[in-house]
Amino acid sequence: MAAEFPKQFMTLFGTDGIRGRANEHPITAEVALRVGRAVASLLAGAGGTVVIGRDPRVSGSMLEAAVTAGLLASGTHVVQAGVVPTPAVAYLTRSTPAAAGIMLTASHNPHEDNGLKIFGGTGFKLDDALEAAVEEFILGPEVPPSAELGRLSVLTDGAAPYLAALKSAAAGLSLRGMTLVVDAANGAAHAIAPGIFEQLGARVIATATRPDGRNINAGCGALHPEHAAALVRVHGADLGISLDGDADRVIFTDASGAVVSGDRVLALGALALKERGELAGDAMVCTVMSNLGLHEAMAAAGITVVTTGVGDRLVIEALRAHGYSFGGENSGHLIFAAHATTGDGILSALQILRMMREKSSTLAELASCMREYPQQLLSLAVHSKPPLESLPTLRAASAAADAAFGALGRHNIRYSGTEAKIRILIEHRDAAMVEKWAQCFTQAVGQDIGISH
């Protein structure tokens, strides 16, 4: 079996599970079946139970059937939750006797992609060691069939326990008098997201709630908050809430129709939690992609900032290691550790709305708590991903940028963990410097690797 894998897929896990083009390595029925066998062998065992959820993209049913087959053939029982958000799978896994959970999603990627996110029995994503063990199993030799077969259960309303948990987290919150635009990205939360805000009293303008398997994230959701922003302006809404395809991320739009950056949301969240006495250790966690302005605002408020690599899994690991209660990514992953084990777009929106209500403030007013440095994030499609240290033009540009920026700016270069792209963050107090170096880095990547168009 291992010989069937092209050389470039001998490493399966990226920053957020296994991801790629559906029906091409590594996102094939064969690999999905072996993921099921791996999870059964390493996490669940014969007689154990695994929860499976998926988003509505067209390839989800294929992967669901294959993963299920791998688990059942290994003697592991399966609970299919159907189309539910990623945080629902994490919640179902940790709130039941399940040994693991598997979410089939490519998150914010287009419908042609899909992926597998794996949770341990506590509802947290696997650490590096477990990911390596799962990967080794998948790429290794065939294993003997189990003497036992697992049983399959299908939940008729897989989201119900998760919705109950959301309502508990929102206890005492009234949204009466508020108008909200809720963009479900034609994704996993399309059936549940508008309803929970309505149940709390809000008038909801729901959009992108009719998935057809191919329109997930298409011109809507967290990657396209301008869609919700336009509706906020048309309807005079108080807030726009844009989820991504698996609803573990959220991007907000204020009442004027302006998109509020993820860093501003992190800042206002940390400040509000500190004021309540709920910011453990007076510290928050973010990634290397967060704006220097966030660091400045937190320092002024006496809040320590712990920085990790990219990926909400790394943020969560830092929260757990230090016992902290809040953190996230500027891409819209927010982790409220008192309520969830992973990023959760709906939960995060409820928490931000509570903060607005407590302060009797608009989101724009709360978000004015920090100054942002001008920033540009390049996301360049590339033909290959050679080691960054092997790219002479890009290395020279990086060294020159360091010398030019000094303490007034920074840059960060990395490959995407889920796509064939290189991502370059440029940040400086002077917007002209950001634009100049964006052009310089783009040219360097073109010379060293070549940019796909």
- For 167, how many CA atoms within 13 A lie in the half-sphere containing its CB? 13
Q: Is 130 helix (H, G, I), strand (E, B) or coil?
A: helix
Residues 425, 409: contact at Cβ < 8 Å?
no
203/178 Cα distance (integer angstroms): 6
Identify which of 207, 200, 201, 165 has the alpha carbon closest to the alpha carbon of residue 185. 207
H-helix segments, 40-149: 60-73, 86-95, 128-139
Sign of the alpha-carbon torsion through 244, 111, 376, 257? negative
Following DSSP, what letter does each residue of 396-434 receive, concatenated? HHHHHHHHHHGGGEEEEEEE-SSSSEEEEEEEESSHHHH
What's the pLDDT score for residue 142? 85
Domain residue limits at 136: 2-159
Q: Is 292 helix (H, G, I), strand (E, B) or coil?
A: helix
Identify which of 382, 291, 283, 293 has the alpha carbon closest to the alpha carbon of residue 337. 283
What's the pLDDT score for residue 10? 58
What's the pLDDT score for residue 417? 75
Identify which of 96, 140, 90 has the alpha carbon closest to the alpha carbon of residue 117. 90
163/242 Cα distance (integer angstroms): 18
Q: Tell me: do 148 and 193 sit in the same domain.
A: no
169/166 Cα distance (integer angstroms): 5
Q: Is residue 86 part of a domain?
A: yes
Q: Tell me: do 207 and 225 sit in the same domain.
A: yes
What's the pLDDT score for residue 335? 98
313/318 Cα distance (integer angstroms): 9
Q: Is residue 166 part of a domain?
A: no
What's the pLDDT score for residue 378? 92
Place of tokens 């109950």: 164
Q: Is 107 a known active-site residue?
A: yes
Number of compact structural domains in the chain: 4
The pLDDT averaged over each successive group of 10 residues in the chain (453 residues) is 45 88 95 97 95 98 98 97 98 97 97 98 94 94 88 97 97 98 98 98 98 98 98 98 98 98 98 98 96 95 96 94 97 96 98 98 98 91 91 94 90 85 92 94 93 82
Q: Tell me: do 348 and 230 sit in the same domain.
A: no
Q: Tell me: do 379 and 362 sit in the same domain.
A: no
Last residue of a domain, one of 338, 367, 396: 367
Q: Tell me: do 155 and 26 sit in the same domain.
A: yes
What's the pLDDT score for residue 1? 38
What's the pLDDT score for residue 199? 97
Q: Tell me: do 402 and 418 sit in the same domain.
A: yes
Last residue of a domain, one of 367, 399, 433: 367
Q: Is residue 143 part of a domain?
A: yes
Q: Tell me: do 244 and 382 sit in the same domain.
A: no
Q: Tell me: do 362 and 379 sit in the same domain.
A: no
What's the pLDDT score for residue 9? 45
Q: Tell me: do 386 and 412 sit in the same domain.
A: yes
Q: Is residue 137 part of a domain?
A: yes
Strand ranges across the sheet with 409-415: 375-381, 421-428, 409-415
Last residue of a domain, one of 256, 277, 296: 256
The CATH number of residue 182's host domain is: 3.40.120.10
Q: Is residue 164 part of a domain?
A: no
What Rg value do the Cα atoms of the chain yield, rounded? 22
What's the pLDDT score for residue 8? 43
Q: Is residue 227 part of a domain?
A: yes
Choose the catalytic residue: 59, 107, 242, 416: 107
Q: Tell me: do 18 and 144 sit in the same domain.
A: yes
Q: What is the pTM of this model?
A: 0.90
